[in-house]
Structure 1
Amino acid sequence: MRVAALVAGAAAGLALLTGCGGSGPAETGPSAAAPKVSAAPDAGVMAPAKVEVIAALTGCAADIRIEADELRQGVCATDGGGYVITTFPEDRLKETWLDSASVYGGTYLVGTRWVVGAEPALLDGFRQRLGGDVRELRGMGPTVGP
Structure 2
Amino acid sequence: MQSQRGNLGRIAAAGSLVALLLATACGGGEGEEAAAKDTPTNVSATVAGVVAPAKVEVIADLAGCKVRIRTEADELREGVCHSEKGDYLITTFPQEKYKLTWLDAAAVYGGKYLVGTRWVVSAKPELLERLRPRLGGTIQQLGRVGPTPAPTTS
Same fold (TM over 0.5): yes
- Between Structure 1 and Structure 2, how many residues are aligned? 106
Give matches, 1:113-132, under 5 Å: 113-132=118-137
What are the superposed Cα offsets for residues 19-76 of structure 1, whole Å, 9 maximum, x if unpaired?
A: xxxxxxxxxxxxxxxxxxxxxx934321421100110011011111100010000011
Q: Larger relative CO (CA 8 A, sep 6+): 1 or 2? A: 1
Tell me if 1:70 matches 2:86. no
TM-score normalised per structure 2: 0.63
Q: Secondary structure at the match of 2:110?
A: strand
Q: Scaled by the length of structure 1, what TM-score is found?
A: 0.66
Q: Which structure has greater helix proportion?
A: 2
The alignment-based identity, stated in percent, is 58
Matched AA of 1:86: T
Ranges in structure 1 where 5+ consecutive residues have no aligned partner: 1-40
- Give the CA deviation at 1:77: 1.3
Other-structure match for 1:42:
44
Counterpart contact for 2:45–2:132, Cα < 8 Å? no
| Correspondence 1:1-146 to 2 at 5 A | 42-45=44-47, 46=49, 47-49=51-53, 50-140=55-145
Cα offset, 1:106, TM superposition: 1.3
Once residues 64 and 117 of structure 1 are traced to their aligned partners in structure 2, the CA distance between those partners, rounded to angstroms, is 15
Stretches of structure 2 that go unaligned for 5 or more consecutive residues are 1-42
Larger Rg: 2
Q: Distance between the aligned counterparts of 2:61 and 2:84, measured in 1?
A: 15
